[in-house]
Amino acid sequence: MARIVVITSGKGGVGKTTTAAAVGMGLALLGHRTVVVDFDVGLRNLDLIMGCERRVVYDFINVIQGDAKLNQALIRDKRCDKLYILPASQTRDKDALTKDGVGQVLDELKRHHDYVICDSPAGIEHGAMMAMYYADDAIVVTNPEVSSVRDADRMLGILSSKSRRAETDVEPITEYLLLTRYSPERVNRGEMLSIADVQEILSLPMIGVIPESQAVLNASNAGIPVILDQQSDAGRAYQDTVSRYLGGELPMRFIDAKKGFLGRIFGGA
Amino acid sequence: MTASQILPAQAAKQALEIKAATFSLPLIRLLDNALDQLALQVEEKIAQAPDLFLHTPVVIDLSGLPEDQEIGSFPELVGVLRAVGMMPIGLRGGNALQQQAAKAMELAILSETRPRAKPEQRHEEQEPPAAAIEAAAAMPSIEVGSKVIAHPVRSGQKVYTAGGDLTVIGPVNSGAELMADGNIHVYGPLRGRVFAGIKGNEQARIFCQHLHAELIAIAGQYRVSENIPSELKGARVQIFLDQETLKIERF
Ligand SMILES: Nc1ncnc2c1ncn2[C@@H]1O[C@H](COP(=O)(O)OP(=O)(O)O)[C@@H](O)[C@H]1O
Ligand SMILES: [Mg+2]
C-alpha cells in the first residue's frame, strides 16, 4: 500500500523543499516508485531544486481543474526513472487546491507509486493544510532555534487534530522529527539549541540530523538533490535519514563539532 | 410466585439498578431564529476552545423564542450542533411542532424549570486574559469526571476537563492551554498556560514536575511567567490559593 508522506514545518526556509527533493530521490534510488508533489502554489521551487524547471508544461492545479491529465503533468526525473515530480503552479491562486481535488489526485498517484512525498508550503494556511490532510506519515522539519521548534510543535498539534486520519479516528499519522541546518559549533557556543533540547521540547523520535552545509547551496544551485552528492556530509546525512525512515537503525553522524587544528593533532576531546 | 422461584439461582443475579442522579448540562439557548447565524456563532465559540464541547451532552432551549417563531428545521439545528461535536440529548421549551420533531429524533422533552441563579460574577480585572476561560466560566458543570491525557499537549492546543481533574503525562508546551474545573497534574515539563478551578473552585490545585509555565491560575487568580520567582523555575511544585493569593510551594 502506497504511503503519503508530508514534509512540513510551520516555519518557512527551514529546509522542507531540500528535504522533499532529497528524500524523494533517496527512496527512488532504492527502487521505490516515488513522486514528489509541490504544494507551494505561487512559489514553485521544487522543480528548481530538482533541476527540471524547463520541463514544466502542466501543473498540479491544471490537473485538479481538469485542464490536463495527470500523466501530462508528471515529469520523470532524468537521473532516476523511479522518480516523478508533480510541479506546483506559479501563478494561480492557492484556493484552487480544493480538498476533493487534492484527494483525487493523491488517490490516483497512490495507484502507481509506493511513496507520494508532499512538499508543504510554510505557515498553517490553506496550502499547508492541504499538503498534510491526507498524509500517512509526516516528517516535521525544524532548525535548532526556538521559533522554528515552536512552529514545529504547533504543526504537530495540527497533524494530530486536523488531518484526515485524525478526523476519521483511524491510526494517527506517524510523526518523525528531522533537524536540519544543524551546526555543532554554534550549539557549543550556545547560539543554537542542541539535539537533546529539541528532542526534549518536541518529544518525538529524531529521524535525522542534517548539518548546515555549503553542499546544500551548491546542489540546489545546480538543480541536483543534495543526496546525490555522496561526498558531502549533508548528502550522507540524508541517506541515513532515508534508511531510518525505511526502518534501519543507524547512529547519527556529523553531530559533533569539527576538531580544530590542535584537536586533530592530539585527538580526543 | 416471585421471579427467583422460577429461575435457577445463578440466573437471578441482579442485572441492573435504577438510581436517581443529577446532572447539570450546558444549555444551548436560542435567542434568534436565524440558523445560519447560529451555525457561524457556534463555530466561533468552538474555535476558541475546540475540546470544550467535544462529545458533550447539551440541551437545546427554545424557551427564549416567541411561541410562533419557527427555527428553520429542527433536525437542521440538531445537525449544526452535532457538526461541532456536541451531543444534543433533549429539548426545553419550543412549540408543539418543535417538540414533535425532537421526539422523532429521540431527544428527551425536558420540563421548564427556572434556570439556577448564576454564580456570583467575579471582578473583571481578576479574570485571566483568555477568551476560552470566559466561555468555560459561563457553563454549568457537567459531571463527566476526570481526564488523563497521555501524549504531549502542543502549542495551539487547548484541553478542558469539566467537573473534574485533568492529568497530563507528557510535556505541556509553550502556547498550549490546560483548563479544569478541578485540579491539574502535569507529569512532564509544564511550559504552557494552566487554569485550575476555572469555574471558581478555590480549593483546586496545580501539581507539576518541572515548572516553566507561561501562566498559572486558580479560580481566576493568576500569575504570568515573569512573576514566578526564578528559583522556582524548573522545580517540582504545587500551586494553591491561600487567602486569595497564589502560593507556589516545592514538594
Ligand atoms: N542543511 C542545510 N545547510 C545549508 N543550507 C540549507 C540547508 N538546508 C536548507 N538550506 C537552505 O535554506 C534555504 C531554504 O531551504 P528550503 O529547502 O527551500 O526551505 P523551505 O522549503 O522550508 O522553505 C535554501 O536556501 C536552502 O539552500
Ligand atoms: Mg519550500
User: Which residues of chain A are modeled with pLDDT < 50?
Assistant: 267-269
State the residue for C-alpha cell 540530523.
A209
A38, A117 contact by CB (below 8 A): no
Buried b (16+ CB within 10 A) or exposed e, A37-63: bbbbbebbbbbbbbbbbeebebbbbbb
- Name residues whose C-beta falls within 8 Å of residue B239's C-beta, 6 or more positions apart in sequence: B196, B205, B206, B207, B208, B216, B218, B246, B247, B248, B249
Give me B165's grid cell: 481533574
Residue A181 CB–ligand 1 contact under 6 Å: yes
CB A44 within 8 A of CB A83: no
Q: Give the C-alpha separation, A54 to B157, whole Å.
A: 43
Which ligand is in closest contact with the Cα of A14?
Answer: 1
Confidence grade of residue B69 (pLDDT, cut at 50, 70, 90): low
**3-class secondary structure, A68:** coil
Amino acid at B120: E
- Asked whether the beta carbons of residue A154 and residue B50 sit closer than 8 angstroms, the reply is no
Q: Which residues of B touch A153 (CB under 8 A)?
A: 154-155, 173-175
Residue B171 with chain A: CB contacts under 8 Å? 200-201, 203
Ligand 2 centroid distance, CA of B3 (Å): 74
Residues of chain B positioned with their CB less than 8 A from the CB of A158:
156
> For the segment B110-157, what is each residue's pLDDT rounded down to a tens digit?
876 544 444 444 343 334 445 555 655 555 444 467 899 999 999 999
- Alpha-carbon distance B145 to B132, whole Å? 20
**Chosen from B54, B154, B209 to mutate, greatest number of chain A CBs within 10 A:** B154
CA atoms of B241 and A64, how far apart (whole Å): 58
Nearest-CB residue to A203 (from B50, B156, B170): B170
User: Does B155 contact A at CB distance below 8 Å?
Assistant: yes
Ligand 2 midpoint to CA B140 (Å): 47
Question: Do B173 and A201 lie within an 8 Å CB cutoff?
Answer: yes
Determine the residue type at A244. R
| Model pLDDT, residue A8 | 97
pLDDT tens string B191-245: 999 999 999 999 999 999 999 999 999 999 999 999 999 999 999 999 999 998 9
Rounded-to-integer distance, Cα B219 and Cα B82, Å: 30
Closest ligand to C-alpha of residue A88 is 2
For the CA of A13, the closest atom of ligand 1 is 23
B189 in reach of chain A (CB within 8 A): yes
C-alpha A221 – ligand 1 centre gap (Å):
11
How many Å apart are CA A179 and CA A199, to the nearest integer?
9
Please report, as a single letter, which amino acid is at residue A2.
A
Pairing of strands B193-196, B177-180: parallel
More confident position, B92 or A224: A224
Identify from B51, B52, B149, B155 which residue to disrupt to test chain A contact, counting A C-beta atoms within 10 A and taking the largest count: B155
- Give residue A151 CA to ligand 1 midpoint distance, Å: 16
How many Å apart are CA B53 and CA B43, to the nearest integer? 11
Atom 3 of ligand 1: nearest residue by CA position: A212
Q: What share of residues in chain B are helix, strand, coil (percent, to 5)?
A: 25, 30, 50
Interface predicted TM-score (ipTM) over 0.95: no
Say whether residue A200 is in contact with chain B using an 8 A CB cutoff.
yes
pLDDT tens-place string over residues A12-37: 999 999 999 999 999 999 999 999 99
As given in the structure block, the three cell numbers for residue B41 are 456563532
Quick check: B49 contacting A, CB < 8 Å?
no
CA dist., res. A174 & res. A136, Å (int): 6
What is the model's pTM? 0.72
CA distances from B202 to A132, A253, B54, B183, B251 (A): 42, 53, 26, 10, 20
A64-71, Cβ contacts within 8 angstroms, sequence gap of 24 or more: A64/A96, A64/A97, A64/A98, A64/A101, A64/A102, A64/A104, A64/A105, A65/A96, A65/A101, A70/A105, A70/A108, A70/A109
Residue A114 has what pLDDT?
Answer: 98
The finding on whether A226 has its CB within 6 A of some atom of ligand 1 is no
Residue A40 Cα to ligand 2 middle (Å): 7
DSSP A76: E
